[in-house]
Structure 1
Amino acid sequence: MTGPAPPHPTISLGALTIRPATCEVIVGARRLVLEPQVMRVLAMLARDAGTVVSRDELVARCWDGRSVSEDAINRVISRLRKLAVETAAFELQTQRKVGYRLVAIPPVASAEEARPEANAPLPAARRSRWPAAAAAAALVLLLLGLAAWILSASLGARSATKSLAIHVTADRPGDRAGVQAFTSNLRQSLLRVRGLRLLDGAATGTPDLTIDGSFGSTRERPILLTLKDGSDGSAIWSGRFARSPLLLPEQQRAVAAAVRYVAVWLSDRGGGEPSAREPERSDVSALVADGLQQWQTGREKREQGKPSLAMEHYAVASAKADAALALDPESPRALMLRYQIDLLPAYPRPGETVPAFRNRLQRADEMLTRALSADPDDPAVLVAAARDFGRAADWAAAGALLRRAVRLGPSSADANTWYAFHLALVGRCREGLRYARKGVELDPGSSWRRRAIPRLMQGAGDTSGALRDYARLLRDDRANGVLAYETYLVALSGGRGRLAQLATFLRHDLWQGDPPPGILAVVDRAEAAAAHRDGRAAAFDRLLDQEFRATLENRKPVSASTAGDTMFALAYEYAHARRVDRALDALTRAHDAGSTYLPWALPFGSHEFPPPLRSDPRYRALWLTPTAWAELMRERETTSLATAASRS
């Protein structure tokens, strides 16, 4: 049996210095302490950097070959992925069904190191002997400049650190102590935002940003904050935070909102190193990793039409999250686990009362608020804040936070996947495919993440490719009713033949004539839609009406994660059934809920809602209000025209 990895001297990995003997990693001026088992795996992968190491070999060399659970391995790998994001010194790549490979990221030279010596002229003989070398160097610089320009165009150019000044005054003399405490909390959160430098009262010069406000400690005298552009004093954002018995303390809400909008403004501007933080407790990390695994399993069971099993896994995940928060109430990872558990599904769970459902969503909002204060630059926190903006139809702010999440966490599977979905929303599906594939590469075991690729393919107009990819996913996860339903919606846009092929594939190819109830429901739906195309409309109309009523009554709307998304899909089906009034009713409800469930069906998409709905004046008017929707449609139209011009 192979023994554990022996002690090893210091290892250099890109910008990272690894000290196995003391379980330390050093990057720049930061020192992080790892758990011994995490250090063993990191040291082993670092020594074999660039080589794929199987899970069996990992166990043999780092666990002395003894029996070890999948959760234990996954927990260590998860911690290393977080370390990769925190240090930007390496990537941990997963080779599906093979193992892991660690790839070092070369350190970036500082501007001072890259600058030629000012007073070191090249000797004349060398200048004349090596013109080719000079030309080659110029070519390299040109290519580097081109690469930087491309990166700037995709995610925004990284610029110098921005400065921010805070000026909060007291409404009354008795509030001065409160102002000091509030300003201190605000500064502590903003200090964790990369690319931001906080100015003190003695600083001179004009800051790039200012936060002005007044502090009140009663409901009648709330906290008022305004984020301003330092150059001209124009307001970027303002907020009012009054005391409420139903919400988190107003100071905490104000801090979270301020850091969120600072991050939006900095999205394409700020860079810089992450601030120094204490390493997360190993017991908290273990609880969060176990809880996340349970939550993911619960989501898979829900999609497979097994709600009772899903609830069992959700309950275990919930207990893990609560235990982690009891140990560290401000752990960003524990807060985000609790947030994810509480957020979905965005309709009552089986047996959940409406008040309990509302309390669950309110608790999710509280977790996000606390996480924004605790670590506003954590990629998972930025993604959650972006999704929150999206639900409020503030897609510009959502996109800004997602760009920042990808830039600060290039190895975050969630950041890449959700940015891909955002790009699909604004019509940039081909660009989004790159990020969708990156998300799958980082987390290949997630069925939900793998579905992003055919979604983006459909958005880019490749229906045949999307259906082929969906078929591959269904072979790997054949009981997933949500996946089958998505495939049906794509087939619906392709005509009767594809609907019939899908029904045959699901019933016979996957299940040899005996599909389970969740898959059989999709088979019946596809066959009814195909029959409707042949003039036999009764079965399809009856099926759609039944689900429409069930969704209105909060009775098991299983087609999507939210009732709004279910209404959007129903509107698409009603439109294909040529039932314009009911399609408009469902689409209006989805629109009011902020749903953009099928970006490829939105105006200027590859498979926009079909006529006669599209030619109805009420349909066109729907996308003109409110202003946020009209702006989104203009962006989609601009993207569509640019794409058409590039192809011609």
Structure 2
Amino acid sequence: MDAAACELRKGEARVPLEPQVLALLRLLIDNRHRLVSKDEIVETVWNGRIVSEAAISSRVKSLRQALGDDGSTQSIVRTVPKLGFRFVAEVEAAGPEPTPAASPAPPQEAAEPSSRPSIAVLPFEVLGDPQEAAGLAEALPHDLIAELSRLRWLFVIARGSSFRFRGPDADLAAVRTALNAAYCLTGSVEVSARVMQLTVELADTRDGGVVWSERFRAAPDAVHEIRERIVRQVIGALELQIPLIEARRARLASPENLDAWAAYHLGLSHMYRFTAEGTARAAELFGQAVALEPGFARAHAGLSFTHFQTAFLSFTDAPAWAAAQAQRSAETSLEHDPLDPFCNLVMGRVFWLRRDLEASLPWLERAIGLNPNYAQAKYSKAWSETLMGFGLEGRTGVDEALRLSPLDPLAYGMLGVRALSHLVLDEPEQAAQWGERAARAPGAHALIHMIAAVGHSLAGDPARACRWAASARARKPGLSADDFLSAFPFHDAAARRRVVEAFRSLA
């Protein structure tokens, strides 16, 4: 092992090694006097990024093969189950004995950034009395790192690496160079006798621009409440803002130069247009992503989402075929990543097409369990609960979804479920009010306009009901009560009767 030349040789022959395997070998040799934990390996070899156990095992296996070792013999690299690895072969130092570094290595030339979005959360700056604010300045970024790590589409730099960048005016170029992070989240904390103020800012390290920022104020004794609120709002903002930025960047690339992640994010921007043309274009881009990276779970989930929309919104003359494709793509996404919340979400929505609301709930609950701040999963669960007759539970769930993501692309659906919950509870005035809000939201389709029409009809406002019914039928000619109840299969017989009565008045 020639550390200076970064080479491994056997006799005179050079043994080819991937950079990560070479870095692993150097780490194990330099620390051969002790066990090297998996966390240390991730910190050194992957710069603290979140990686799977399989990735670590793969690099260890490659190293053993290069050294003539194997998992059974373990005469060179020994595995200590559940803890880490140790280099156990004899080593003769040809030069000065290497000393493990106690401080971070100097920044090297920036690596080529991953196409998958990555983020570093830095410790927050303390303003004012450090005794009052220091704990929160450390605790809040730590909470954010833990929660952001649940987002399977986002690389989150580990705390051990990102917390080395302390102090005001963090150099975004240095963060990008050292951590290979596309985004950086910073903040400040100031506590006085009567008020606690926090400012959070998300920046794009590629151009230094501020993507999103927010300011929070609360009483000093409300620290736990505000921590929870900030974590919830930051994650909601990142789930919305980062895909939009990635889609904008993807639009600047020519189609033949799109990588899998760029094609996926561009597909999302088309998917959320909720039109036949946008859905078809999204399906093409998700298909392109799958062709480039067959194991890309989220691209398969995106395909499931587009097939679901095609069936649910009758964009095809063969809805049964689209429903089958939605299920097939959802199953494929789960085969590749069963712990991705989006994959579990699309699997739950597949059961809506079968009118099997009970079967959708375990998948939607699993999506929420994997990411408790996943607004679209909370909304989808509220949709199922509302149509099953649990109006109050549905209302609570959709209100939480709207708090988490007030600008969500599916906000029209969230508002629509709020209206349906009032319809189930026989509250026609509130159903009309929320139905109209849903129909006026971006992306609202014919079925949402008809929710507004039904609400106004039941509330005794036939003129407004007829206007929304006309708007719905202009978008989907011949929309009938059967079509509406097929899309929204109410379990409650009284709610179904109210819908049928409203449609009679709208005929």
Query: What TM-score do the two structures reach when normalised by structure 2?
Result: 0.49
Higher relative contact order (CA 8 A, sep 6+): 1
| TM-score, normalisation: structure 1 | 0.39
